[in-house]
Structure 1
Amino acid sequence: MDRTMTAEILAVLFVFYVFGLYIYRMFFDHLSHIPGPKLAAASLWYEFYYDVVQKGQYTFEIGRMHEKYGPIVRISPYEIHINDPEFIDEVYPGSSPRSMKYYWSQRMFGLKSAFLVTESHELHRLRRNALAHYFSKQSLRELEPGVQSQVDKLVSRLQGLKGTGTAINLLDVYACLTGDIIGQYAFARPYGFLDDPDFSPYWHHIMMDVSQNGHILKQFGWMLPLMQSMPDWMVKKTNPQMMTLINFQRVQGFRKQIIEVKESIARGEKPTGQTTIFYDVLANPNVRPEEKTTDHLQDEAQTVIGAGTVTTGHILAILTFYLISNPAILQKLQSELLPLMSETDGRPKWSQLEALPYLSAVIQEGLRIGYGVSTRLQRLFPDKILQYNNYSIPTMTPVSMTAVFIHDNPSLFPNPRTFNPDRFLANPGLKKYIMSFSKGSRQCAGLNLAYAEFYLAVAAVFAPGRFEWELYETDVTDVELKHDFMNTCPKMDSKGIRAVVN
């Protein structure tokens, strides 16, 4: 048999394989009863087209699927998506029933063992518990002065720019704030982003480039290990964005910092001032040796620094935009802040700020309109068949929901793209539909830190009589979601959320 005939036979067999797979997935697969587009059910390449070729557009395509097929759709050969606010607790339960993460989707983070990407319910609890104490509300109360010191530094920087006419990118500014805060928490070493005269624009950009890489890594999980084994010049030439992720891991020196903490513990040294996340983990005899390896803690460090920077920084920038854009809302907020700011010499505590109902409503509305994480979050249930209306969802089927659709649901939030904190004053129960930090047993471990940053930063930046703000060549198109890179991204040619402080 010559090579030509062999090639022809292989081509025919491949065509039969593809056709047979298509028929199976359409009519015989265990998810074939779930409505949705045939191409999405047939192949993951459907998602590839929208997220990689079209740059983060699959979330919007899923929205169109729901408009056509209803609240439950099959969005891939393996995954179901549900758009129903009343089903949140079923998809994101507490400790019971057991839920797992979807290995295929978790590849987008470029991590191996961090608790964020751990599939197993039991192993996730072990890994999360190793860090959870440090993010508890009690621990944060004790370490609040560290957060306040970075907020004070931000205020000082803004006072130096007051009246100069200098336009600043609020996305860069708040990424500096949150990056320095989480650096101090993790290693007692703020990265000094706020000290940069230009607010370290590379830091926000690198975080967004890393996010954009996620769609490629999800589709091609082998790519990052391959790129890491290649010379830098070759990576830069073949995939510049992947080089961004590699540089992020290197430049921040996560591995080096973990090793330094280990060496200090071996010498019997204790950190001066506050303790840190990774010192506590390594010095804690109750944490398993497996959670103390350098490789694992390097992944955890990348997770903590990345997650502790982007989402909170984005929400603060979006909140600032909407407060500047709505003078009546800002005036109402400042009227509420005025007595407390006067009593505390302009530096109120987090607990005092939490008691302010309008400030709390402003923050909830910022979380709602800014979404937080814009991509869908999957869960798998090894012990339970989910039942949605007349549809049974088999065990170990990835089921997902998306904050974008819940937060923009007009039945819950009339005129959803209008910034209106009063909706949370009129109906405090709406808070249960906010999914910015996910829900259930896999909810973001850093939620309490994020809230501390929201309250302290908003109060400081909008303290009555402290600053007057003016937007600079910025409108709502620089804020509205146009690309889902896991983190929200506006139009690609946006120059940021820019403002002048007076």
Structure 2
Amino acid sequence: MGFMDKLGVVIPRAFFTLKDFLVLLIWLALLYLLLLGVYRLYLTPSAKFPGPKLAALTFWYEFYYDVWQEGQYTWKIRDLHRKYALTVDIISRVCFGASYDCLENKDFAREWHAGMVSSSRMSHMLRQFPWIHEVLNRFPKIGPAVAREGASADRERQMKLKQNIADVVDRRNRGEKPSDGAFTIFDSMLDADVPASEKSFSRLISEAQTLTGAGAMTTANALDTTFYHLLANPNCLNRLRGELVSSIPDPVAIPSVAQLETLPYLTAVIHEGLRLSKGVPHRFARVSPDVPYQYDGITIPHGVPVGMSFVDFLENPDIFPDPDTFDPERWIPFDAPHVRQRRKSLVAFGGGTRMCLGINLAWAELYLTVAVVARRLGDRMKLHEVVFERDVKVTVDGFNALTSRESKGLRVTIGAKTEV
């Protein structure tokens, strides 16, 4: 007598066999998926929202465009509807009280840029599968082994940030202030009257990652975009240089930000470059916690997240005609009613209480860098083998604005010095 025959003495044949049990599990799983699909398509509060039924049915729709197609969901939504070393040096000093001095590095610390780009390209995978982040934290050597280019640089960047935070904490424990006595963000955070959990090492690391990423990539992208379009449009560059030469007779002098903000064409160029750089193109979710609200005849229940990309504002043809064209003239005169309306739609820094923390620092970086570089080097700079679609055009929403993987970056040559 076999084992199953003996078992049949205890469990009557009327009970499930293993095969029957597996078949039942499959049918229950299919029934669950069917009921879940019916709920998502017809019963959920967002069921009446317009859009593809497949997107309402499964998050794999978003996964396909953001992970498999690499950061394309922002542009898919639109279809359904309708440089770095400088900025790293500045944000590192503001955060930690000491600059990374990337500008002193012979290759301008390219590994920092590679690390931040690598982190951005992984953002959608981490968003779809949050547990991957914990795995990478526990086993940091896995990332470079399985990820694409830049993963090793990103790991080194993460280690550098951890060391920076440890140095700040150690310095404060010794009762010392920053070397130059300057304000730093993390000293202020540690001085804040908040619960200890808000000052934990892991929390500070997360803040460091956010601040250095947001304070470096976004402004650097805006500078890249601005200088590309200036060099690709000599008439715009010549007009800007004429204004700068007139206002800054001594090219060695560095004017104040307040002085530069009075220059109309410089202001127009910076606003247009910022618009075309896209800011942070990813969708930001907002939730009404207690009351429903109306949009275009549709009631959105409270608690339902709604996301929208800044790109939809920045490239709205009703506000910015011919939105893909670099046209500083659209910002002149700056106080005209139609320009004031455009300024409200320049949401590269976000808006409301959640707008960019470093907006004033970013404006100062943009004004000073564009003015000084264009004044001193603008007549000697030329684009070097730059292909707009490959090297400059934003084609990937990696939370940050990213170009093609084949991009060689914005490269320029600088000719001999002139007298002016």
| TM-score, normalised by the number of residues in structure 2 | 0.88
Q: For residues 325 and 50 of structure 1, what CA distance do their matches in structure 2 show?
A: 32
| Structure with more relative contact order (C-alpha pairs < 8 Å, separation 6 or more) | 1
1:56 Cα offset (Å)? 1.0
1:261–1:14 distance in 2 versus 1, CA, 3 Å: same
1:496–1:42 distance in 2 versus 1, CA, 3 Å: same
Could you list the runs of 5+ residues in structure 1 that have no partner in the other structure? 68-173
1:189 Cα offset (Å)? 1.5
Q: For residues 352 and 393 of structure 1, what CA distance do their matches in structure 2 show?
A: 46
1:345 Cα offset (Å)? 4.7
Q: For residues 272 and 413 of structure 1, what CA distance do their matches in structure 2 show?
A: 46
Residues 315 and 366 in structure 1, CA contact (< 8 A), matched pair in contact too: yes
1:192 aligns with 2:85: no
1:131-167 CA distances to partner (integer Å, 9 max, x unpaired)? xxxxxxxxxxxxxxxxxxxxxxxxxxxxxxxxxxxxx
Q: For residues 260 and 424 of structure 1, what CA distance do their matches in structure 2 show?
A: 45
Q: 1:45 pairs with 60, 63, 68, which one?
A: 60
The code of the aligned residue for 1:327 comes to P
1:54 aligns with 2:69: yes
Matches within 5 A, 1:201-216: 201-216=110-125
The answer for the alignment partner of 2:275 in structure 1 is 368
1:89-115 CA distances to partner (integer Å, 9 max, x unpaired)? xxxxxxxxxxxxxxxxxxxxxxxxxxx
The answer for the alignment partner of 1:175 in structure 2 is 84
The code of the aligned residue for 1:44 comes to F
The answer for the alignment partner of 1:109 in structure 2 is none
1:495 Cα offset (Å)? 1.4
Secondary structure of 1:56 counterpart? coil
The answer for the alignment partner of 1:494 in structure 2 is 407
Q: For residues 38 and 178 of structure 2, what CA distance do their matches in structure 1 show?
A: 62
When the two chains are superposed, the root-mean-square deviation of aligned CA atoms in Å is 2.0
Would you identify which runs of 4 or more consecutive aligned residues in structure 1 move more than 6 Å? none
1:474–1:387 distance in 2 versus 1, CA, 3 Å: same
Residues 380 and 398 in structure 1, CA contact (< 8 A), matched pair in contact too: yes
Q: How many residues align?
A: 393
Q: For residues 399 and 489 of structure 1, what CA distance do their matches in structure 2 show?
A: 24
Residues 227 and 242 in structure 1, CA contact (< 8 A), matched pair in contact too: no
The code of the aligned residue for 1:211 comes to S
1:8 aligns with 2:23: yes
Secondary structure of 2:242 counterpart? helix
Residues 213 and 242 in structure 1, CA contact (< 8 A), matched pair in contact too: no
Q: For residues 208 and 354 of structure 1, what CA distance do their matches in structure 2 show?
A: 31
Q: 1:277 pairs with 185, 209, 226, which one?
A: 185
1:190-224 CA distances to partner (integer Å, 9 max, x unpaired)? 11211121222221111111001110011001111
1:33 aligns with 2:48: yes
The code of the aligned residue for 1:267 comes to R
Q: For residues 230 and 387 of structure 1, what CA distance do their matches in structure 2 show?
A: 46
Q: For residues 470 and 238 of structure 1, what CA distance do their matches in structure 2 show?
A: 39
Secondary structure of 1:462 counterpart? helix
Residues 114 and 154 in structure 2, CA contact (< 8 A), matched pair in contact too: no
Residues 292 and 302 in structure 2, CA contact (< 8 A), matched pair in contact too: yes
Q: For residues 4 and 237 of structure 1, what CA distance do their matches in structure 2 show?
A: 41
The code of the aligned residue for 2:260 comes to L
Greater Rg by CA: 2
Residues 210 and 245 in structure 1, CA contact (< 8 A), matched pair in contact too: no
1:484 Cα offset (Å)? 1.1
Q: For residues 369 and 419 of structure 1, what CA distance do their matches in structure 2 show?
A: 8
1:306 Cα offset (Å)? 1.2
The code of the aligned residue for 1:175 comes to Y
The code of the aligned residue for 2:42 comes to F
Matches within 5 A, 1:289-300: 289-300=196-207
Q: 1:229 pairs with 129, 138, 149, which one?
A: 138
The code of the aligned residue for 2:115 comes to I
Could you list the runs of 5+ residues in structure 2 that have no partner in the other structure? 1-15, 416-420
The answer for the alignment partner of 1:484 in structure 2 is 397
The answer for the alignment partner of 1:377 in structure 2 is 284
The answer for the alignment partner of 1:259 in structure 2 is 166
Q: 1:474 pairs with 372, 377, 386, which one?
A: 386
1:33–1:180 distance in 2 versus 1, CA, 3 Å: same
Q: For residues 196 and 352 of structure 1, what CA distance do their matches in structure 2 show?
A: 31
Q: For residues 47 and 41 of structure 2, what CA distance do their matches in structure 1 show?
A: 6
Point out the more displaced range, 289-298 or 389-398: 289-298
Secondary structure of 1:488 counterpart? strand
Secondary structure of 1:308 counterpart? helix
Matched-pair identity in %:
37
Point out the more displaced range, 51-60 or 486-495: 486-495
1:262 Cα offset (Å)? 2.4
Secondary structure of 1:400 counterpart? strand
Q: 1:396 pairs with 303, 306, 316, which one?
A: 303
1:272-306 CA distances to partner (integer Å, 9 max, x unpaired)? 32232212332x35354333222221211111111
Q: For residues 492 and 194 of structure 1, what CA distance do their matches in structure 2 show?
A: 24
The answer for the alignment partner of 1:71 in structure 2 is none
Q: 2:357 pairs with 420, 445, 452, which one?
A: 445
Residues 89 and 99 in structure 2, CA contact (< 8 A), matched pair in contact too: yes
1:350 Cα offset (Å)? 0.9
Q: For residues 51 and 350 of structure 1, what CA distance do their matches in structure 2 show?
A: 39
1:255 Cα offset (Å)? 2.8
Q: For residues 317 and 213 of structure 2, what CA distance do their matches in structure 1 show?
A: 32
| TM-score, normalised by the number of residues in structure 1 | 0.74
1:248 Cα offset (Å)? 4.6
1:324-351 CA distances to partner (integer Å, 9 max, x unpaired)? 1111111111122123212685210111
Q: For residues 227 and 344 of structure 1, what CA distance do their matches in structure 2 show?
A: 49
